[in-house]
Amino acid sequence: MNLRPTSTAFSLVETLIVSALFAALSVVFAQFFTHVHGGFFYARAAADVQQGASAVIRNVEQFTLPALRVREEATIEGVDYTSGEDTLILEVPAIDASGAVIAGTVDTVVLYREGNTFMRRILAGSGSARESGVHQVADAVTQLTFSYATENPADASWVQVSVTTHADVKGRTVEGVRTAHFWLRNFSL
């Protein structure tokens, strides 16, 4: 009968092999999660820039479709605006709280880029439900161009807007580009 003691512990070699395998797997998983994490930030930035470009388009649509006309110039609270490549001034029928048009009253809406921010400024007419003031619509707007049906914006029956939003994520560039064309439904010379 052999009464040799049996060892139930791991040997040093077995422990080193398991430790090396664990270290190698840890490196692989760390690289995988870093890659997935970076992809998440890229996807999030892509969604944000597309959302910003869409917000610009929606704002232009919201005020261009019901507009009576494009105004050539407007001064609101001492600030002069001129319709052109980077600014759109619209004369829009004023509406009451129920959304009904207030006869003979208009709101002036200025859509423009200030730095990399798309801005909307409203001068509400008497009794209008729209609030006068400045509203920041979207950030990261690197390019904004308005073009008109005619050389003189005040005679235009339609407006085209092109917008580019931009973000840099971990050395990668993300851009959102949108272009839309809107007719002034209430236009008349």
Is pTM beyond 0.75 here? yes
Domain boundaries, the chain: 39-183
Pairing of strands 87-95, 69-70: antiparallel
- For residue 150, the one-letter residue type is T
CA distances from 182 to 28, 88, 163 (A): 52, 12, 14
Q: Are 95 and 130 in contact (CB under 8 A)?
A: yes
Each residue's pLDDT, cut to its tens digit, for the chain (189 residues) gives: 566 666 677 788 888 888 888 888 777 777 776 665 556 777 787 888 889 999 999 999 999 999 999 999 999 999 999 999 999 999 999 999 999 999 999 999 999 999 999 999 999 999 999 999 999 999 899 999 999 999 999 999 999 999 999 888 777 888 889 999 999 998 876
